[in-house]
Structures are given as structure tokens and as C-alpha cells.
């Protein structure tokens, strides 16, 4: 026989019912509360009390779905942050041209190692990441033109295929940790193949990275291709 006792902890019984009335004459709301008897019937109708209101607020604030800590910055807003929408749950930031350790699958015959990458614009939610390249050396503006990110594993719309990478970002993750986590996920995964029929760079992308990987060369921004968007197009 199967022990189903633990399942009883997930049983909920009705305890209170609320009815919200809207005034037809003016913009006012009245809330009436009902206690629920042992038979599940509403009894003892009364105006919602202050104590009941406080209790309801505590329950709602405790729900993970309305947790207000997600994407809240710990101190001053980092310079690299361009846009944060904590209501929908995404952030947009940029990184300047930099040298970073890149990992390539052996099939590509590209040596892994510290390599120059272009300035990038990142957009991430808790579960997804999109990346773009930019030619600008200053902080991007809404009019900044976007280019295809010159990497493998990226769809034409900028969405990154993370493959088997296990994404673990907490619902209460602060903004700084959120950004650091996504950059680490992206650059710590192995670049393996192109996705779709489009080319993210002018010329052969494999030869491009073979000529850059493990060298002191700067990334040649002239190989970047416009994707037809500006930064303002990804703010939603």
C-alpha cells in the first residue's frame, strides 16, 4: 500500500470569502468579508476589518509570484545597465569590447582561450537570453544600431541557445548577480554551431575566430552585420 499521508498537507479548506463592491455614483470600493462555516457556507457578513486587511496583505506579500526583490540593485545603478523592467522581469545592459575566455567545440578546430569580442548589448529574463553586437564605443542610446552577435549558438533574432546549460536564477536574484550570472552562463558554454541559414558575420565565421582566438588582435568590427534594429526596438 502507498502512504499518502504527506499529500494531506496540500489540502486547503475555505476559511473566508470576500466580495468587492464598486460604487456606481463615485469611484469608491467597499469590501465585505464572510466567514466560512464547517459546511463550506459563507456566514457572518461584515465589512473587512483592519486586522483582516493586514493578514491578507501579509499573505499576498509572501507569494513568490509577487516577490518584489527580483532585479533590485544592491547599491548605485551600475553604469552598464541600460533598462530594467522588474514588472515583466527583464534587464538590458551592455559590455564594452573586451578580452574574454571563449570555449569552442573540438569539431570547429578553433582553439579555446582568451579572445577579443566586440561591444555587446544583452537582454535577459529569468529563463532566456538575447545578445547583440554594437560598434559604438560610448554608452548606447535608444538610437544605437544593433548588429548580429558574431557567435555560434545564436538564432537570427538574437536568442541564445544555451543547449544543456542548467540555468538557475532565483526569483529574488538582485540585479548585479543577475547580470553576472548570465554573462558567466554565456561565456562558460561551448560555442558549437550556427543556427539557421543566416550568417552573423561578413565572411567565414570559423576563419574569423581561428584568426582571433588566443591572440592579442582586436575584434574587427567591420565584419559585423546590421540586423535592422535599434536599441529602442528591444525595450519592450
Domain ranges of the chain: 14-62, 81-234
User: Per-residue confidence of the chain (236 residues) as pLDDT tens digits?
Assistant: 555 555 545 577 888 888 888 877 776 778 888 998 888 888 988 888 877 777 776 666 555 444 457 888 777 788 999 999 988 889 999 999 999 999 999 999 999 999 999 999 999 999 999 999 999 999 999 999 999 999 999 999 999 998 878 899 888 889 999 999 999 999 999 999 999 999 999 999 999 999 999 899 999 999 999 999 999 999 98
Q: Tell me, what's the pLDDT at 63?
A: 52
Q: What's the CA gap between 171 and 13, in Å, rounded?
A: 28
Using alpha carbons, list the distances in angstroms from residue 43 to 14, 30, 35, 50, 149. 12, 18, 5, 19, 62
- Report the half-sphere exposure of 186 (CA within 13 A, side-chain side): 27
Dihedral sign from CA coordinates of 177, 216, 165, 157: positive
The C-alpha angle with vertex 198 and arms to 197 and 202, in degrees rounded to 5, equals 135
Q: Tell me, what's the pLDDT at 10?
A: 58
All three cell numbers of 191, joined, read 560555442
All three cell numbers of 112, joined, read 579555446
Q: Tell me, what's the pLDDT at 135?
A: 97
Q: What's the CA gap between 170 and 127, in Å, rounded?
A: 10
Q: Tell me, what's the pLDDT at 22?
A: 82
Do 114 and 97 touch, CB atoms closer than 8 A? no
**Beta strand pairing call for 98-104 and 190-191:** parallel
Q: What's the CA gap between 73 and 61, in Å, rounded?
A: 20
Amino acid at each position: 500500500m502507498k502512504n499518502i499521508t504527506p499529500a494531506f498537507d496540500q489540502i486547503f479548506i475555505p476559511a473566508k470569502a470576500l466580495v468587492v463592491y464598486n460604487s456606481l455614483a463615485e469611484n469608491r470600493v467597499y469590501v465585505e468579508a464572510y466567514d466560512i462555516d464547517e459546511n463550506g457556507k459563507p456566514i457572518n457578513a461584515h465589512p473587512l476589518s483592519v486586522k483582516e486587511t493586514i493578514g491578507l496583505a501579509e499573505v499576498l506579500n509572501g507569494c513568490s509570484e509577487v516577490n518584489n526583490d527580483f532585479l533590485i540593485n544592491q547599491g548605485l545603478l551600475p553604469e552598464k545597465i541600460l533598462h530594467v523592467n522588474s514588472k515583466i522581469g527583464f534587464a538590458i545592459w551592455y559590455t564594452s569590447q573586451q578580452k574574454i575566455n571563449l570555449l569552442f567545440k573540438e569539431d570547429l578546430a578553433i582553439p579555446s582561450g582568451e579572445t577579443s569580442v566586440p561591444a555587446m548589448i544583452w537582454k535577459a529574463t529569468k529563463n532566456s537570453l538575447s545578445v547583440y553586437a554594437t560598434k559604438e564605443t560610448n554608452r548606447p542610446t535608444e538610437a544605437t544600431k544593433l548588429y548580429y552577435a558574431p557567435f555560434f549558438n545564436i538564432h537570427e533574432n538574437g536568442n541564445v541557445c544555451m543547449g544543456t546549460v542548467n540555468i538557475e536564477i532565483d526569483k529574488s536574484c538582485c540585479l548585479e548577480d543577475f547580470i553576472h550570472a548570465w554573462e558567466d552562463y554565456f561565456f562558460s558554454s561551448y560555442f558549437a554551431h550556427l543556427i539557421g541559414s543566416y550568417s552573423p558575420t561578413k565572411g567565414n565565421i570559423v576563419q574569423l575566430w581561428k584568426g582571433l582566438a588566443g591572440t592579442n588582435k582586436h575584434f574587427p568590427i567591420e565584419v559585423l552585420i546590421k540586423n535592422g534594429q535599434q536599441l529602442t526596438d528591444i525595450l519592450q
